[in-house]
Amino acid sequence: MAREPLIVILGPTASGKTARAVALARAAGGEIISADSRQIYRGMDIGTGKDLDEYGDVPYHLIDIAPAGYKYNLYEYLRDYRAAEADIRTRGRRPILCGGTGLYIESVLNGLALPEVPENPALRASLEGRTLDELTAMLASMKRLHNTTDIDTAKRAIRAIEIEEYYRAHPEAAAAARPNPVKDAVIFGVDIDRDLRRRRITDRLHARIEAGMLQEVQALLDSGIAPDDLIYYGLEYKFITLHLIGQLTFQQMFTALETAIHQFAKRQMTWFRGMERRGFHICWLPQSLTPEEFAQTIIRTTA
């Protein structure tokens, strides 16, 4: 029996990916593998938009698998993704990869199998105190910066430099990390109008604050997670933490966060368009389709 293709559903934040993936999973006997770099963490629910009630009886994977404060990385994601996909297929179910983290999605589709790169204390010590601009320039001299998340913070940039240095010292590891593209994958994108996306982002931000997002971040701080560790996760956790520790007023926090989420959505779309330039065919379906119509379109397309 021929192996069923991997179905990928991607799109920017606030486009309604989860509801569409759930509708598809119900209709096609599937299970969802999350491709969201922050929904991995337990206790980070409202700010990451897990919306777990949307899944109902549909099984999901790679959500709530690491404690908040942990620095989960791409190596771990690819390892855990492969285990989840194999488990789903072994049980005769259909894997559906859904999310907005372009790095995770593209790395899965490229068939990357990254080696585990250990920490390099001496390198980290030598880079301590460098500005983000200096670290970015250093990383740019070592590789093409497809992945803007590498340079979101100094900590991330140092880790990216650490990985590149490891590859230089271990060419066999770099060779193992070369792409081996997945042949049986079909990619669908949620095509949402820019103005509608912006309205949905703003409305959702208001709703999340009313739902207790500030209290969620305060609880994480109260549990002993350092402010810098929450700021590391960016967006909601960065700006709300800065507000809670007294560095931003509520209005400053809201305005900066709203702007940052709009910019994030734009970067997501830039990544997806880049994927198309790099040879990935994405079938964009209008967001105006109901989740059920979206799912049935995919089923007819992949039959």
- Whether residue 235 sits in one domain with residue 286: yes
300: which residues sit within 8 A by CB, 6+ positions away? none
User: Can you tell me the mean pLDDT for 265-288?
Assistant: 96
Polymer length of the chain:
303
| Block residue for tokens 């990357």 | 112
- Whole-Å CA distances, 76 to 71, 99, 281: 10, 17, 26
- Whether residue 285 sits in one domain with residue 165: no
- Whether residue 52 sits in one domain with residue 36: yes
- Whether residue 210 sits in one domain with residue 291: yes
In a domain, 231, yes or no: yes
What's the number of CA atoms in the CB half-sphere (13 Å) around residue 198? 7
- Whole-Å CA distances, 55 to 18, 23, 58, 155, 223: 8, 9, 5, 34, 28
- Whether residue 24 sits in one domain with residue 107: yes
Q: Which domain covers residue 163, as residue numbers?
A: 121-176
pLDDT for res 178 = 74
pLDDT in tens, 198-225: 999 999 999 999 999 999 999 999 999 9
pLDDT in tens, 75-89: 899 999 999 999 999
- Given a cut of 90, whether residue 191 has pLDDT beyond it is yes
Range in 19-28, 71-80, 145-154 the model is least confident about? 145-154
**pLDDT > 90 fraction of the chain, expressed in percent and rounded:** 80
pLDDT for res 156 = 77
In a domain, 164, yes or no: yes
pLDDT for res 46 = 97
Residue 277: φ, ψ to 5°: -65, -30
| Block residue for tokens 């379109």 | 297
User: At which of 132, 160, 176 does a domain end?
Assistant: 176
- Whether residue 186 sits in one domain with residue 171: no
What's 216's domain CATH number?
A: 3.40.50.300
In a domain, 1, yes or no: no
In a domain, 84, yes or no: yes
> Of 213, 226, 212, which is closest to residue 70 (Cα–Cα)?
226
CA angle 275, 276, 278 (to 5 degrees): 65
- Whether residue 292 sits in one domain with residue 206: yes
19: which residues sit within 8 A by CB, 6+ positions away? 54, 291
In a domain, 92, yes or no: yes
- Whether residue 143 sits in one domain with residue 88: no
- Whether residue 201 sits in one domain with residue 93: yes
Count of domains for the chain: 2
- Whether residue 59 sits in one domain with residue 44: yes
User: At which of 130, 153, 176 does a domain end?
Assistant: 176
Buried b (16+ CB within 10 A) or exposed e, 7-36: bbbbbbbbbbbbbbbbbbbbebebbbbbbb
In a domain, 71, yes or no: yes
241: which residues sit within 8 A by CB, 6+ positions away? 217, 221, 227, 230, 231
d(CA 213, CA 43): 11
- Whether residue 155 sits in one domain with residue 70: no
What's the number of CA atoms in the CB half-sphere (13 Å) around residue 270? 10
pLDDT for res 99 = 97
- Whether residue 195 sits in one domain with residue 73: yes
pLDDT for res 152 = 63
